[in-house]
Every structure is written in structure tokens, then in C-alpha cells.
Amino acid sequence: MINIRCETLADYTVIAEVNTLAFGQENEAKLVEEIRRSERYISELSLVAEFENVVVGQILFSYIDIVGEETLQVLGLAPLAVHPQFQRQGIGSALIKAGLEIAEAKKEAIVIVLGHPEFYTRFGFQPSIVYGIESPFPVPEEFFMVKLLQSYHQRYKGKVVYPSTFDGV
Ligand SMILES: CC(C)(COP(=O)(O)OP(=O)(O)OC[C@H]1O[C@@H](n2cnc3c(N)ncnc32)[C@H](O)[C@@H]1OP(=O)(O)O)[C@@H](O)C(=O)NCCC(=O)NCCS
């Protein structure tokens, strides 16, 4: 019943509405728009979930950096939003799983997320600090998580740096 596909230009308005309703503020909707305009945007990893041809959820993965001995690009998962009337029906989970499959197929190494551990550990996310990946935010360690993909290598160590696009969130 739920169809997951890449976003198109025609979805932009509804995506902004879904984000604003889900988060109760406009910051995430603005973040999505800024990421789209930046070089860190990845069209194959900007997904929507639709129910009866209406967009009810969205997930975005974009490039962020791990800065250590070298600077490496990895995926940052943000934002993820499901329309309040459609939450707790598995749509958020389906968007995450679909995104992770695409990330694997693209041979990406890592996905980083800041979020609730009870939710994200279901998909194999673990505290990033376990792998020597430091959060740029002063949050409890278990909230800053990493999902290792097949291309992961131990050289992915250091501090995560988000582009300035994320400053307003
Ligand atoms: C978080 C969110 C994306 C999950 O999407 P979803 O489609 O509701 O998620 P699923 O149905 O796949 O999974 C349900 C799980 O999500 C979590 N969850 C969903 N809504 C929640 C809420 N209002 N409060 C706390 N946890 C919630 C719970 O762990 C829940 O598990 P349970 O039903 O077994 O208790 C969605 O609730 C949302 O858009 N929330 C507002 C925006 C937000 O916080 N985004 C997360 C950014 S990291």
C-alpha cells in the first residue's frame, strides 16, 4: 500500500508540509530546501513514501564529513518525517530500510544519524563512539549513531562535521 520512490520537483511543497507538521516547526523543511540547493544533495537518496498517491513521509540522506587524519565523506540521515496521521504504521521504518538498501548499492561506507536509540538500533545503528567517530553535538553518546555498511573500513575515524546548511536546525 505504501510506495517508496525518489522525490521529484512536484513533491517539494508536500514534503515541506509533512516536515513542518511532523516536527511542529519549519526548521527541517528549510533544511531540506537548503540541502537540495547544495552540492551535498543526493537525488537517489531523497525518498518519499506515498499512500494512495499522496506523499505522507520523507527521508533525506546527504553527504557530511568525518574529519580525522583524512577527511572522508559519509552519509548523514536527516531529516526523517512522517505525517502525524500516518505515524506508527511502519512508514518511517520502511523509508529507513529503503534508504539503507540504496546506500549499500551505492557502496557508501557509513550512515550517521542523531536520533532516538530505541528506534534506530532496530536498523543496526550503534553509538558512533564505539568506532571512534565523534559527535559534533553535546548529546549523550547513545543518541549519535552510525550504521556500518559493507564498504566500511577502519579508517573512518574522527569527528563528524556537518555542512553549515545544518546550522539552523
Ligand atoms: C520518528 C518518525 C519518523 C517515525 O516514523 P513512523 O512511521 O511513525 O515509525 P514506524 O511506524 O516505522 O516505527 C514506529 C516507532 O517509531 C517510534 N515513534 C514513532 N512515533 C513516535 C513518537 N511520537 N514518540 C516516540 N517514538 C515514536 C517508536 O519507537 C515506534 O515504535 P513502536 O510503535 O514499536 O513504539 C515519525 O514519528 C516522525 O515523523 N516524528 C516526528 C519527526 C521526528 O522526530 N523525526 C525523527 C528525526 S531523527
Residue 38 within a domain: yes
Domain-embedded: residue 73 = yes
Residue 123 CB less than 6 A away from ligand 1: no
CATH (domain of 111)? 3.40.630.30
Q: Give residue 26's domain range.
A: 2-163
**Is 71 inside a domain boundary?**
yes
- Helix then strand count (H, E) for the chain reads 4, 9
Task: Measure the CA–CA gap between 49 and 131, rounded to whole angstroms.
Answer: 32
The b/e string for 122-157 (b: 16+ C-beta within 10 A; e otherwise) is ebebebbeeeebbbeeeeeeebbbbbbbeeeeeebb
DSSP lists the bridge partners of residue 32 as none
Tell me the CA–centroid distance for residue 75 and ligand 1, in Å: 21
pLDDT at 49: 98
Cell matching residue 135: 559527535
**Distance from Cα 153 to the centre of ligand 1, integer Å:** 30
Percent of the chain with pLDDT over 70: 100
Domains contained in the chain, number: 1
CA-angle at 136, arms to 132 and 139, nearest 5°? 90
Query: What is the CB neighbour count within 10 angstroms for residue 5?
Result: 12
- Let me know if residue 169 belongs to a domain: no
Pocket flag, ligand 1, residue 92 (CB < 6 Å): yes
> What's the pLDDT tens digit per position in 88-142?
999 999 999 999 999 999 999 999 999 999 999 999 999 999 999 999 999 999 9
Residue 53 to residues 5, 44, 49, 102, 152, Cα–Cα distance (Å):
11, 19, 9, 22, 36
Q: Give pLDDT tens digits for 3-56.
A: 999 999 999 999 999 999 999 999 999 999 999 999 999 999 999 999 999 999
Residue 168 lies in a domain: no
